[in-house]
Structure 1
């Protein structure tokens, strides 16, 4: 963990807050949600000086302005890393027919881009909310491991271990990775992951995540699920369960899956948690999603409404789904 001194603290001879580096890989559509993730980290860790690294293929001027506002409002640092899309052109087949953005591959570049500033960096997906202190994570000694990771859901782990023939019978969700930069670089994890994608990619269900699991098998440390508490909103809404139900002490709640907490149309309690941190961020003037935005969300919304016995509304959204998908 590196230490930064702000100018005033240095002049007074007062020790500064510990500085902790966090990285995100986003496109312009995800800055709103990343803003909520960032403010949730700050709100629950007032004694930490954060340096946020944003990896993107491009950053709109409005988002650059909001990042500057974030720095001024909370006293954090932000660093934009522009990634040339051509770097990942060879992986386009993994993203053209799925909901994955090419930005998922940008996380492979993080260690090389931050190595001059820190030897530890936490990667987070932008659909995560922090609801507790990260002091324990910051104090964790990862000097002997390439990355600290969190197990994926049990069902996913069983399926992916069988499909990928993982001998350790362990599989992690790559939405949270606490990286040891020096060991990552020394072991050429980025290069080996790219090689796995190019040579074995056809068998990967989750492209870079599967590749990272293959490359890091037996080399990563698995830590408590509170650091990547996977919460699937689809499962709740299929049962018309609208309460946020957490088991244990979650620190990072990861809303993995196709439905996100910024969708007001879900009527799920997770909206309230997201809106709390969203309202604190410089992106607060960007509204949450009042209606489904694409045909996949429309279809799910139709299904959820039917579960609530709102038949007419369900049929209306199914009609909209059909129109959006088949363009008639």
Structure 2
């Protein structure tokens, strides 16, 4: 059984559905249980997610923790597009059943484009998480703020293979609360900073293909990535594609693989929904892209 966890609120049900359908479509032989942690979801939304999972022979379980569980946290950055639900991932060891020893956490701005069994079967003995380096790993200010050595680097918290057994033994959920209360001024990127501050010495870095972030597709990355030829292959066929910047449902997204999102959207009840069906959005996109078409601005993304 592969255990998947997602944090959402009602604003993200559509995107969660896309993530799950892409997972199910590309892992049809796997037995999957999805754990949805939310402050609350309309029954209609719950039924949609349950029905999608059931159509592939999988199941969804819902958890609606008390608001008091997150009472000691607050959103520090991106408050307009990030809800308090983001901190649920810090509390999985307290929320999910004790019988679940490992879970793969996925943000819901993700599509799964391949088999995740290799990632899932990673041996995490003595590690808290299996993860992928964040695009902002070279931001020295983060290490100065979080008070740890940059040699440990910095991971992206949007895809985490979590060793729940380790988290329970080391009371990671309690550590998160204590750290946030003691050093709120250090936390800028919400739970991602918090988890890096606590787990930087207890993580296992994995291949970038398990969390292919937006900025890896941008011009200039070939100068920053040590093993560029290998990464270039993964860019064209990532297993987990993570839209960490502009989302594909934003009218001005220029991500070279943004259409992958719509491939799976059309397998959900939101089939056919597109931002550019709006005349206003189409006009705004035209204005946004015109300088690039006229070559007045350099393109942001590499051609694959």
TM-score (norm 2): 0.81
Alignment correspondent of 2:154: 171
Q: CA deviation at 1:253?
A: 0.9
Q: SS of the residue aligned with 1:37?
A: helix
Does 2:57 correspond to 1:75? yes
Alignment correspondent of 1:254: 242
Give 2:202's match in structure 1, choosing from 219, 241, 251: 219
Does 2:42 correspond to 1:55? no
Q: CA deviation at 1:308?
A: 3.8
Pairs within 5 Å for 1:98-247:
98-154=80-136, 156-167=138-149, 168-232=151-215, 247=232
Root mean square deviation of aligned Cα: 2.8
On the 8 A contact 2:134/2:154 being kept in 1, the answer is yes
Q: CA deviation at 1:94?
A: 2.9
* Cα distance change on mapping 1:302 and 1:155 into 2, 3 Å: farther
On the 8 A contact 2:76/2:187 being kept in 1, the answer is no
Q: Give distance in 2, aligned partners of 1:270 and 1:302.
A: 19
5+ residue gaps, structure 1: 1-18, 237-245, 311-328
Query: Which has more helix, going by share of residues?
Result: 1
Q: CA deviation at 1:301?
A: 5.5
Give 1:274's match in structure 2, choosing from 252, 261, 286: 261
On the 8 A contact 2:19/2:108 being kept in 1, the answer is yes
Work out the number of aligned pairs and report it.
276
Q: SS of the residue aligned with 2:232?
A: coil
* Cα distance change on mapping 1:287 and 1:107 into 2, 3 Å: same
On the 8 A contact 2:4/2:34 being kept in 1, the answer is yes
Q: CA deviation at 1:97?
A: 4.9
Q: Give distance in 2, aligned partners of 1:271 and 1:58.
A: 29
On the 8 A contact 1:150/1:225 being kept in 2, the answer is yes
On the 8 A contact 2:37/2:63 being kept in 1, the answer is yes
Q: Give distance in 1, aligned partners of 2:86 and 2:71.
A: 13
List per-residue Cα deviations over 1:228-270 (Å, max 9, x = no partner): 111149968xxxxxxxxx823221111112x101235546543
The higher relative CO (CA closer than 8 Å, separation ≥ 6) is in 2
TM-score (norm 1): 0.75
Q: Give distance in 2, aligned partners of 1:43 and 1:132.
A: 9
- My pick for the range that moved more, 272-281 or 63-72, is 63-72
Q: SS of the residue aligned with 2:74?
A: helix
Does 2:291 correspond to 1:307? yes
Q: Give distance in 1, aligned partners of 2:38 and 2:182.
A: 26
On the 8 A contact 2:65/2:95 being kept in 1, the answer is no
Give 1:287's match in structure 2, choosing from 267, 273, 277: 273
* Cα distance change on mapping 1:201 and 1:234 into 2, 3 Å: farther
Q: Give distance in 2, aligned partners of 1:254 and 1:122.
A: 14
On the 8 A contact 1:24/1:125 being kept in 2, the answer is yes
Q: SS of the residue aligned with 1:74?
A: coil
On the 8 A contact 1:40/1:277 being kept in 2, the answer is yes
* Cα distance change on mapping 1:182 and 1:137 into 2, 3 Å: same
Q: Give distance in 1, aligned partners of 2:49 and 2:136.
A: 37
* Cα distance change on mapping 1:100 and 1:266 into 2, 3 Å: closer
Q: Give distance in 2, aligned partners of 1:163 and 1:136.
A: 35
Alignment correspondent of 1:314: none
